[in-house]
Structure 1
């Protein structure tokens, strides 16, 4: 894998207050988030379902992008998210799904009730020891916890600069193992490279789905958009309305729950 420049060596380490502030940006504008954020490649879904689970709890489910993929594979899925607005979008997409408005650290769901717990684009928003303990409580013995991220492939220089201008805060070094509690075995890793065709207005919408943009002042937002306009059209030379294949990668970690004593 090519070296990824200017990314922190210690991913996921965010103080509780800062984490709460950033996560609060996703309490609104759920529909715009849902329209622009991509789904996950089939290979990552196969990685998640390698032990053939039948029941799953998707925590930090947001608008239900990954939840829908789990349902399409025939799983019985419960969806958990702290944002009522995100869950309302999910309910429009998947009216049959049981939803719970709660944080990942305290879902309120029954113990020992699932084969699989998933966090898609959400593990960096939780207190890891507490969320690990909660996931372990929810899982059957031998059940699995899977964590996934879609992110811009910043090992490619022009994409790295694009991510910096967008202030894409959910870009982590894929090789850095996420913190898990002692309830779980050493995790296994998977990574898949792909691309998404985007025109400039979609780049703007993707930027608007980021926590940095959502929490910024109007002046800061205008500056970010102006910088993107310059970079996309003048520096990279793309035309208005031109679709460009933007490189992405998906990285995932899966870990089996240790047997209860």
Structure 2
């Protein structure tokens, strides 16, 4: 085997992918409404939404970056984890309230700005990350901005935590709580021509939570946040019944909620 043909641990062959382009919101107006719904949910989101497994962070950091920009950082679930690994992290979000929560958790630089136009210097990061947020952006404009921010050897990491709906009881749980961020197995984010996919993967894991927190997790879902009070109460009551009566868990019992983390690594085209 020649050196050229030898396996590259950072850039192995990309597996076959589907043509699916993005999650579906129905209309741009509905997308904007759902995106705005998170603005007042920072504390609950930070407490209840899962972080990101060490194995996935290891994949993001395999090229030993020193500086990272986390776009759509929200309450800093990923930003803080990167800072704990020793990176200089700039957390970018349009919500100052969300970034206040992020900054309270550790040494982060915060910037209130859109992902499509951060105002940060060009070539200022070896790693740009987006967790749970790429589908909220204008993918063409965000791709151009990411390519501007990355150094020639830098990487973009897109990552999503999703309930593992291949497990029957979790599938029903997701339907009851209207978890709309479940992608198909062959989901592929849409990025601009400035970026090329070099590696992707899935990591399966569990997040232990008391049953009450599993119910409250629904409160961080955009469908529930924007629903009329009567419908919201129905969703929460149905979850209470499902966990405590149908599945037979005791109130407050800690259960392992199965997740899958899908991650995608991109490098600037021509790098």
Same fold (TM over 0.5): yes
Structure 1 vs Structure 2 CA RMSD: 1.5
Provide structure 2 residue ranges, at least 5 long, that are not aligned to the other structure: 1-19
Question: What is the Cα deviation at residue 163 of structure 1?
Answer: 0.5
- The answer for the alignment partner of 2:188 in structure 1 is 177
**Alignment partner, residue 72 of structure 1:** 84
Separation in 1, partners of 2:140, 2:252: 45
Q: Is the 8 A contact 2:21 2:188 kept in 1?
A: no
Residue 41 of structure 2 corresponds to: 29
Give me the TM-score of the superposition, normalised by structure 1.
Answer: 0.92
Contact 1:62–1:83 at 8 Å: present in 2 too?
yes
Identify the residue that residue 130 of structure 1 maps to in structure 2: 141
3-state SS of 2:195 partner? coil
CA contact (8 A) 1:47 1:190 kept: no
| Cross-structure match for 1:86 | 98
The match for 2:261 is: 250
Residue equivalent to 1:42? 54
> What is the rounded CA distance, in whole Å, between the counterparts of 2:185 and 2:46 in structure 1?
24
Equivalences, count: 251
In the TM superposition, residue 257 of structure 1 has moved relative to its aligned partner by: 0.9
**C-alpha separation in 2, matches of 1:135 and 1:186:** 14
**1:13-57 deviation per Cα after TM superposition (whole angstroms, max 9, x unaligned):** 444322211110111121111111111111100111111111110
- The higher radius of gyration belongs to 2
TM-score, L = length of structure 2: 0.88
CA contact under 8 A between 1:84 and 1:101: conserved in structure 2?
yes
Deviations 1:162-186 (A, max 9, x none): 0011111222124311111101113
Partners of 1:67 and 1:114 lie apart in 2 by 14
